[in-house]
Structure 1
């Protein structure tokens, strides 16, 4: 798409104010916006800091799954029965479906589109956490880690979080996906296709006006993929947004004291403020 002059692009002052206000309440924040054309940072704040990223940690799992499909070490139609997986009810739809077993490729779709914890755990059961950790290392992500499977409750003997990451590395991964640089063009395209089905457009993506259930082909020329992560006091989103003027990869991690609905909505509003200014930047 043609790119116009950048002289009038926004400076994200509203986003900075919203994030400063959150930081003033004790929230931990990591943010990164990278211009895809230039490869330079448009906005960064503590983007090197490693923080919990909740369900966004499934992205390396999806990359490893797609790489297995491409290499032939995994059969996309291999059936996995959920009876071999410990029940988990933190999110997703498979736990509500009658089908007791699904192929690996459908589990990947559920993991990417609905944040299905049971489907993600099933993929982890088949692929193994060590393989995903090796993939994280191969992708050059030194500040990211997959620690554990999804759990309804975490005890003293469990890892404190599902996954960790930094905004800089999350933005780099999404840039690599759309630039066909994550493992291979085929793997990049497959993971980007899965992520384009994501239904959670309630944070940064709320500003796009896209249909949460059908947004892979936007009539206004908006290219968008994203993944979110949610846990108690944790909100995360990373993705790629491209329009006629520019394209960006972005990531925002906010860890806050979830003491009330007000505290939660203030965190959500910071994501939506970022979304509005990203839309102004790319259009």
Structure 2
């Protein structure tokens, strides 16, 4: 079937209702969905807002690392020791491994697949925060920024967040990755390959039915890459989902008062509603 055949009958009413309910309760919400075939906006709600996105901010870091690999200014097999940065335990698996040192390219995989804060901090130490900020500017992301490294606790002298972004720019960045327009085709392909290993399919991606640990080559023809961001009162996800009839890039950010499990689950339910309606759209 033509990809555009059933687009007219699809809507995002459940997603909009869930976001309206969150906004009424005091949460800040931002969403953007773009049709990859047409380049048109499918859904947009406060997509210009700059909001904290937690670990989702590692994607520009991965783009800078892949660019340095391609340019030859960074050796993918260079062995680096985790003692090069302060210990951080907010997320990831390297802190639990016995190997104290790993090659840079393996750290990129850990960062993309498990949201490994220690691996991300070592990569950031290696390429430098100014280089990542310059890359964000080169990508045309005027409302996004990587502010700091991951920290277990943020003091008064630290940046208040790891990263900021708008859902519009996150959606555009993921569209550029799958369209081979993020720096170069080689860089785009490398970063998309890393992100295809992401294990966190608990938000939007929970509706895809994909295996969190093995979804690179789906037998039902789904193309999917994503990255999530989580912190106290912050949930964010951006990615690309393509099926038989359509392909979309998407991003959603919800900042809420994390006062109870119910508050948190209400935010999670909005992401899952979006996932269901995205699946309907691409199929």
Structure-1-length-normalised TM-score: 0.99
1:66 matched residue in structure 2: 66
CA contact (8 A) 2:240 2:248 kept: yes
2:167 matched residue in structure 1: 167
Query: Structure 1, unaligned stretches of length 5 or more?
Result: none
CA contact (8 A) 2:15 2:270 kept: yes
1:141 matched residue in structure 2: 141
- Alignment of 1:57 onto 2:57: yes
Partner secondary structure for residue 98 of structure 2: coil
Kindly state the Cα deviation for residue 9 of structure 1 after the two structures are TM-superposed: 3.4
Kindly state the Cα deviation for residue 84 of structure 1 after the two structures are TM-superposed: 1.5
1:198 matched residue in structure 2: 198
Q: How does 1:58-137 map to 2 (within 5 A)?
A: 58-137=58-137
Q: Deviations over 1:208-245 (max 9, x none)?
A: 00000000000000000000000000000000000001
Kindly state the Cα deviation for residue 11 of structure 1 after the two structures are TM-superposed: 1.3
1:271 matched residue in structure 2: 271
Partner secondary structure for residue 169 of structure 1: helix
CA distance in 2, matches of 1:127, 1:94: 19
Q: How many residues align?
A: 283
1:35 matched residue in structure 2: 35
Root-mean-square deviation over aligned CA pairs = 0.9
Moved over 3 A (4+): 6-9
CA distance in 2, matches of 1:137, 1:152: 28
Partner secondary structure for residue 9 of structure 2: coil
Kindly state the Cα deviation for residue 2 of structure 1 after the two structures are TM-superposed: 4.6
2:207 matched residue in structure 1: 207
Partner secondary structure for residue 269 of structure 1: helix
Partner secondary structure for residue 228 of structure 2: strand
Structure 1 pair 234–7 and aligned structure 2 pair: CA distance change class (3 A)? closer
Kindly state the Cα deviation for residue 154 of structure 1 after the two structures are TM-superposed: 0.2
Kindly state the Cα deviation for residue 100 of structure 1 after the two structures are TM-superposed: 0.3
1:220 matched residue in structure 2: 220
CA contact (8 A) 1:9 1:280 kept: no
CA contact (8 A) 1:54 1:234 kept: yes
Query: Structure 2, unaligned stretches of length 5 or more?
Result: none
CA distance in 1, matches of 2:7, 2:135: 39
Partner secondary structure for residue 257 of structure 1: coil
